[in-house]
A and B are shown apart, each in its own frame.
Chain A
């Protein structure tokens, strides 16, 4: 069966420090991969979307970047964190386009920039 792993669960980082959040998927190949950010009590904002290795679509201008070095690995990074980068980050995967499958989510990372 398919599973998705996202870590760490919580992270406290100082302003100006780098960031690396990792997400891996098991049990499927060539998934669509997503990074979302959720502010407290708000909806999910799509940050990055990937349909294949090295193919990243950025949805909003920001201080973050994403990479997909392997088919089932999706990494969210920053060189220098800002206070406004605090939030709940969620990784997800879905099947190929037009396959009418749902998105499967990791448990999320609560990032606090201090």
Chain B
């Protein structure tokens, strides 16, 4: 079964605006990761946040983690057309033999 659940399922914003995607999960985790997938391609890792971290930055990406609410958010600032893709959260869950389980993803479309 899915561990992570992203929302919204789809998001369209104007180029230059910020995009925020959320992820909720069910069980205790070692870490939470965000990935990007261009249409018809494999996934590319963006950022990993450990369970003892609350916020992490990488370029235009900002990830937060709230383990008390079992939720995470991915913020992409100053969006570009090239950011159009699907974004997935994934968890490395402690009670699932450290298997990496993915959510259903958010389809992000940046409008020119």
Contact = CB atoms under 8 A, between A and B. Distances in A.
Interface string B30-58: 11010100001111110010100000000
A37 to B, nearest CB: 11
Contact of B101 (A46, A51, A101): A46
Contacts of B44: 105
B99 interface: yes
Interface residues on B, range: 20 to 34
B2 interface: yes
A107 B41 contact: yes
B80 interface: no
Contacts of B21: none
Interface in A21-46: 32, 34, 36, 41-44, 46
Interface of A: 6, 32, 34, 36, 41-44, 46, 49, 51, 57, 88, 90, 92, 94, 97-98, 100-108, 110
Given A46-B101, A100-B30, 19 more contacts: A42-B105, A43-B88, A43-B102, A43-B104, A43-B105, A44-B43, A44-B88, A49-B99, A90-B42, A92-B43, A92-B100, A94-B100, A97-B97, A100-B48, A100-B92, A102-B33, A102-B45, A103-B90, A105-B42
13 contacts: A6-B42, A32-B99, A34-B99, A36-B102, A43-B105, A46-B99, A92-B43, A98-B98, A103-B33, A105-B42, A105-B44, A106-B42, A108-B40
Q: What are the nearest 10 A-B pairs in CB distance?
A: A43-B104, A105-B42, A97-B98, A102-B45, A44-B102, A105-B43, A107-B42, A103-B100, A49-B99, A43-B105
